[in-house]
Structure 1
């Protein structure tokens, strides 16, 4: 199961879930304290996924945990480290796009503000999350970022896999779910 929380403003919070079976979110609504007003909508994902085709263009949103492996010396084991700058976070997504079944659409030259601004893509909502897991003293720390942009489908099967299995790490913590909307 993949999930993501979108906060459009202080009064609007959306929980998106992609699951093999239709979820019953009653327990979440009750825990949030809104059992009388809590409601959710579910949709069958299969018909939408089956319509994806090469060349289709969609707007997308993805909250991800962009990371890379580093080491200070050849003798040291590699360590997973977050990309913290927008340029490196953007590079992370561009590096993964081909295997994920899409390519981020490039802006026309006349719309580029600076030379590096070549894709229809924004990086926003950078958050650093820290929490304790499993009774351990050392906290788990994650850097998450939300990408909004426009993509073109290059491999429908790979994109279906991305949409149902997620992109990147930290899926258990609300990362990896990509959603599409009409361009």
Structure 2
């Protein structure tokens, strides 16, 4: 049975600052909240710091967790109020049906694979120099750096994730996009039928609300790990309940151990399945 947790973080405490700066530290703390029987557990987590004065750690686990150690080290252990919320995730999963709309939040690590990086790192240069057959080179995983590339990465994958992002009801077309609208109308094509390679040509109900670059070394030593995380928020419409449920429970994209991949939904009041 999956559980979704929300833990209040006190940003003024020393351990909290480590949580906010190091995904490796948070990963260790999250794993420490799971029972010893959950040896194959791969929890998903996300640090929601849109309110810098009261960030929250959101975690999805299969076993029921205990977050008392995080509250003691990084929360308000002696203050009034509810410091952690742990909820059964099954009731929300039961609401997923074709046509239903939800508001969503996703922090992901948008990447691409390329055999020829423009600015290779020292480790990449070393691997390239050691290869005997460059024609069959295994691709390097590289982050999308610009907001446009990151948004395109997201919109081109929603179908496989089991949902669609509706066309924006309020935003005017971005500069240069009016032609795409005219072409769609001339061809008798609706906005939801935009070709996949032009999925970003029509304004949609999604925006980027945060972008972070985190650099850390595992266990304080060894090669540096770089994570470029992007938080997307907006509105989605369910197209494939099975696929969406799978990605809700198993995450989206790489770097899941380091705060990426957790997609969360919230029902929209007054909106039912279409």
TM-score, normalised by the number of residues in structure 1: 0.92
Change (3 A) 1:135 1:42: closer
Which residue matches 1:53?
97
Please tell me whether Structure 1 or Structure 2 has the larger radius of gyration of its CA atoms: 2
* Alignment partner of 1:98 is 2:182: no
Higher relative contact order (Cα pairs below 8 Å, separated by 6+ residues): 1
Whole-angstrom CA distance in 2 between matches of 1:171 and 1:144: 11
Segments of 5+ residues of structure 2 without an aligned counterpart are 1-42, 117-133, 178-200, 269-274
TM-score, normalised by the number of residues in structure 2: 0.62
Change (3 A) 1:181 1:33: closer
Provide the aligned length of Structure 1 versus Structure 2.
182
Q: 1:135: how far off?
A: 5.0
Q: 1:162: how far off?
A: 1.0
Q: How does 1:1-183 map to 2 (within 5 A)?
A: 1-32=43-74, 34-37=76-79, 39-72=83-116, 74-108=135-169, 111-114=171-174, 115=177, 116=201, 118-134=203-219, 136-183=221-268
Bigger proportion of residues as strand = 1
Segments of 5+ residues of structure 1 without an aligned counterpart are none
Contact 2:44–2:60, Cα closer than 8 Å, also in 1: yes
CA RMSD of aligned residues (A): 1.8
Larger displacement relative to structure 2 (69-78 or 3-12) = 69-78
Bigger proportion of residues as helix = 2
Q: 1:117: how far off?
A: 5.1
Runs ≥4 in structure 1, deviation > 6 angstroms?
A: none
Offset from partner CA, 1:151-170 (integer Å, 9 cap, x none): 10001111111111111111
Whole-angstrom CA distance in 2 between matches of 1:45 and 1:81: 33
